[in-house]
């Protein structure tokens, strides 16, 4: 069973935020949405969560109360303690007493929040806040978890812990769709969707995307065309959509290279003119 | 420093509400204060009762606007007329000398009447009812109770709701299996309860500290306050739906609150405000709450005379609260950009 959107278009006035986007989010998998600022990631997630009504297209989401949502930069009520946040969300989903404790205790334990039950959410560190938000979003064992950049601004250790929690939710059968700005995270997803200007530029499994990248990426100290190059540590990576100049050899790209190349192709080269 | 000043002006130019505060608010204050800040009552609704009523009515100075002439009226009738706010002065001619009963809860009218009647010396007996010593706090505090309810209802409630939006938790509430009505009621019920507790504390303290009497029906007073609370809580919710930040909510609340202090009869008598401005008073909930609270606390007025104020407040409550709920509900439901099919799980793609 899967969720997602098909031929989804969302317009805000004259601005087209999403244009004929189709994404499938399968149970037991993480689907990662990547793309630059304004690509449409948050609009897609908010539409999936039922917060934005589509202009056209189809949205498939679980029934009432079967969806968990973690908006960017939020997720908990800062003037409530961790325990009070849990109690509020549990109450809203009809969980209380022993049922709530049975569900919440292991989640808080795994989130490293078991000893912080009496602390105000507003006084938690950034990583702890995000883990609390995630814990609250999955407290009711949702079928679909919608996460908007849950790891942005979170320290590396908390990111690892958060990913462990996401993996556990997936193992429990949840469908997870998340926006991320980190390509290493996207590579861990079962399915990756690259959005650009409200359109799907690439979609597929990470290896599949890497294998099907058009053109060639080379590593160089002196790019031939700086508009097609980007810095990676001390060197540059440069994308050649057609032929590679003599003396340069292509490298095996990673997902970040592929996504940058796809965005460059979309911006600089007319569709279908990459051969 | 030049860059800082320039940046501040640029920000201000785009902050339309603050610009409105800077430009519109002083003008509003100037007009309202200029016209409304008038303690000078020039016409006092007066009833003349008893066998010599017709004769006395003809001799009454212009200050006394004779609205009731009843040759069968007695002292009892006079007190009833004042209690029901049908007159501010009632002169009975069945005694010798005649007795002028004055409504002490209409502070400025009473002061003016006492001055005018005092000039008649022992040709008339003056009896000030409901506030014999014309103490300002007796008149002000019942209205102040309304102002406190209004402050909590608009400022505190709107900030509480806007905070959900500022913190991004409003969207979480929207995806939870809570109906919009449950969210709204859940959000405002605590403020309703706290405002009610505040009202009780302030009323009891006022009675203790300022010896303000409470001669009317407590239950009726509570019902009036509850209806008024619905109005102001509705205004608070409305403010929250058009504010993105707490600052914006406070700005709007100030626009709502300040004119009411000046135009509701809380400080300046409504009768002394020129009609060009006075009509605004009749759109302000505090005007009606002040009538109710002063009427019940000081004069012991009942529903038979206060029903118009109750009816207006109830109509306001229905309209404002319904509007507020509908607008807030819109914040909790999907932003409708156009009609489109949304299929539940399992439906064909």
Query: Residues A188-225: pLDDT tens digits?
Result: 999 999 999 999 999 999 999 998 888 899 999 888 88
At B67, is the secondary structure helix, strand, or coil? strand
Does A80 score more than 60 pLDDT?
yes
pLDDT on residue B12: 86
pLDDT tens-digit map of B286-313: 999 999 999 999 999 999 999 999 999 9
Check CB contact under 8 Å for B171 and A71: yes
Residue B335: the pLDDT is 56
Is the pLDDT score of A269 beyond 80? no
Angstroms from B253 CA to nearest CA on chain A: 24
Does A34 or B341 have the greater pLDDT score? Answer: A34
Q: Which residues pair with A176 in a beta bridge?
A: A30, A145
Judged by CB atoms closer than 8 Å, whether chains meet at B349 and A60 is answered as yes
Residues of A with CB under 8 A from a CB of B: 1, 3, 6, 10-12, 46, 49-67, 69, 71-78, 89, 92-93, 143
Q: Distance between CA atoms of B282 and B264, rounded to whole angstroms?
A: 8
Q: How far apart are CA B330 and CA B324, in angstroms?
A: 10
| Residue B91 pLDDT level (bands cut at 50, 70, 90) | very high
Interfacial B residues in 50-79 facing A (CB < 8 Å): none
Is residue B340 predicted with pLDDT exceeding 80?
A: no
For chain A, the distance separating the N- and C-terminal CA atoms, rounded to the nearest angstrom, is 38
Is the Cβ of B3 closer than 8 Å to some Cβ of chain A? no
**CB of A75 within 8 A of CB of A39?**
no
Inter-residue contact B152 to B193 (CB < 8 Å): no
Whether residues A55 and B172 touch (CB distance < 8 A) is answered with no
- B185 touching A (Cβ < 8 Å): no
As given in the structure block, the two tokens for residue A196 are 């650009």
- Average pLDDT for residues B320-336, to the nearest whole number? 81
Residue A73: predicted pLDDT:
78
- What is the Cα A233 distance to its own chain's centre? 25
A11, A50, A56 ranked by CB distance to B175: nearest: A50
Helix (H) or strand (E) holding A74: none
What residue of A is the nearest CA neighbor of B160?
A79
Average pLDDT, chain B: 88
- The reply to whether residue A10 touches residue B337, judged by beta carbons under 8 angstroms, is yes
Check whether B337 has a pLDDT greater than 70: no
Give residue for tokens 């016409």.
B43
Q: Has residue A274 got a pLDDT over 50?
A: no
Computed over every residue of chain A, the mean pLDDT equals 91
- Give residue-wise pLDDT tens across range A240-249: 988 888 888 8
Q: Mean of the pLDDT values across residues B96-121?
A: 90
Question: At residue B235, does pLDDT exceed 90?
Answer: yes
Max mean pLDDT among A79-83, A254-258, B151-155, B274-278 falls in A79-83
C-alpha angle B176-A139-A123 in degrees, rounded to nearest 5: 90
pLDDT of amino acid B338? 37
Identify the closest residue of chain B to A6 by CA–CA distance: B349
| d(C-alpha B213, C-alpha B201), whole Å | 15
Residue from A8, A12, A21, A58 whose CB has the most chain B CBs within 10 Å, to mutate: A58
Per-residue pLDDT averaged across B167-190, rounded? Answer: 88
How far the first Cα of chain B sits from its last, in Å, is 60
Residue B131 has pLDDT above 60, yes or no: yes
Interface pTM (ipTM) of the complex?
0.85
- By C-alpha distance, which of B162, B169, B173 is closest to B245? B162
Mutation site, B160, B170, B173, B176, interface A, largest A CB count within 10 A: B176
User: Which chain A residues have a beta carbon less than 8 Å from that of B334?
Assistant: 50-53
Best mutation target among A26, A42, A92 (most B Cβ atoms within 10 Å) is A92
Nearest neighbour of A58 by CB, restricted to B171, B178, B349:
B349
Average pLDDT over residues B86-97: 90
* Torsion angle in degrees (nearest 10) through CA of B313, B317, B323, B326: -170
């Amino acid at each position: 069973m899967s969720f997602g959107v098909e031929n989804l278009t969302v317009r805000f006035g004259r601005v087209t935020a999403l244009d004929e986007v189709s994404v499938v989010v399968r149970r037991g998998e993480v689907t990662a949405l990547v793309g630059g600022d304004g690509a449409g990631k948050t609009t897609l997630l908010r539409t999936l969560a039922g917060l934005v009504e589509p202009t056209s297209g189809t949205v498939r989401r679980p029934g009432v109360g079967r969806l968990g949502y973690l908006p960017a930069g939020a997720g908990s009520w800062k003037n409530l303690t961790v325990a009070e946040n849990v109690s509020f969300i549990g109450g809203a989903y009809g969980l209380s007493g022993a049922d709530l404790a049975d569900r919440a205790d292991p989640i808080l334990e795994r989130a490293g929040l078991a000893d912080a039950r009496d602390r105000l959410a507003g006084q938690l560190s950034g990583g702890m806040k995000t883990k609390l938000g995630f814990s609250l979003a999955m407290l009711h064992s949702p079928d679909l978890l919608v996460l908007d950049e849950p790891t942005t601004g979170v320290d590396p250790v908390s990111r690892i812990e958060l990913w462990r929690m996401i993996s556990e939710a997936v193992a429990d059968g949840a469908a997870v769709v998340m926006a991320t700005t980190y390509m290493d995270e996207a590579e861990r997803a079962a399915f990756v969707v690259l959005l650009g200007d409200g359109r799907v530029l690439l979609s597929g499994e990470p290896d599949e995307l890497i294998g099907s990248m058009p053109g060639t990426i080379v590593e160089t100290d002196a790019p031939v065309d700086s508009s097609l190059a980007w810095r990676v540590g001390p060197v540059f990576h440069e994308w050649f959509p057609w032929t590679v100049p003599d003396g340069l050899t292509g490298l095996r790209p990673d997902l970040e290279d592929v996504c940058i190349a796809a965005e460059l192709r979309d911006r600089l080269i007319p569709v279908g003119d990459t051969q | 420093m030049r860059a800082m000043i320039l940046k501040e002006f640029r920000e201000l130019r785009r902050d339309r509400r603050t610009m409105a505060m800077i430009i519109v608010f002083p003008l509003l204050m100037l007009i309202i204060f200029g016209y409304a800040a008038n303690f000078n009552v020039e016409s006092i609704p007066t009833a003349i009762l008893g066998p010599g009523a017709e004769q006395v009515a003809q001799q009454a100075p212009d200050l006394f606007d004779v609205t009731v002439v009843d040759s069968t009226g007695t002292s009892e009738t006079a007190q009833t007329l004042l209690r029901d706010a049908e007159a501010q002065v009632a002169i009975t001619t069945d005694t010798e000398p005649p007795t002028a009963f004055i409504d002490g809860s209409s502070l400025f009218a009473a002061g003016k009447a006492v001055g005018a009647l005092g000039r008649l010396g022992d040709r008339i007996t003056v009896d000030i009812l409901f506030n014999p010593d014309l103490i300002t706090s007796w008149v002000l505090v019942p209205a102040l109770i309304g102002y406190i309810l209004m402050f909590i209802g608009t400022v505190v409630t709107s900030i509480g709701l806007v905070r959900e939006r500022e913190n991004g938790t409003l969207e979480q509430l929207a995806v939870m299996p809570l109906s919009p009505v449950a969210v709204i009621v859940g959000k405002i019920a605590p403020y309703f309860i706290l405002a009610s507790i505040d009202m009780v504390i302030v009323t009891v303290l006022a009675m203790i500290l300022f010896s303000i009497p409470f001669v009317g029906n407590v239950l009726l007073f509570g019902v009036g306050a509850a209806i008024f609370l619905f109005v102001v809580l509705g205004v608070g919710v409305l403010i929250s739906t058009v504010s993105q930040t707490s600052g914006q909510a406070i700005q709007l609340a100030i626009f709502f609150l300040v004119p009411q202090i000046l135009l509701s009869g809380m400080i300046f008598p409504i009768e002394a405000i020129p009609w060009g401005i006075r009509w605004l008073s009749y759109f302000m909930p505090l005007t009606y709450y002040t009538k109710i609270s002063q009427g019940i606390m000081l004069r012991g007025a009942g529903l038979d005379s206060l029903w118009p104020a109750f009816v207006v407040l109830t109509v306001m409550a229905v309209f404002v609260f319904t509007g507020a709920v509908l607008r807030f509900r819109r914040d909790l439901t999907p932003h409708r950009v156009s009609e489109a099919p949304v299929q539940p799980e399992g439906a064909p793609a």
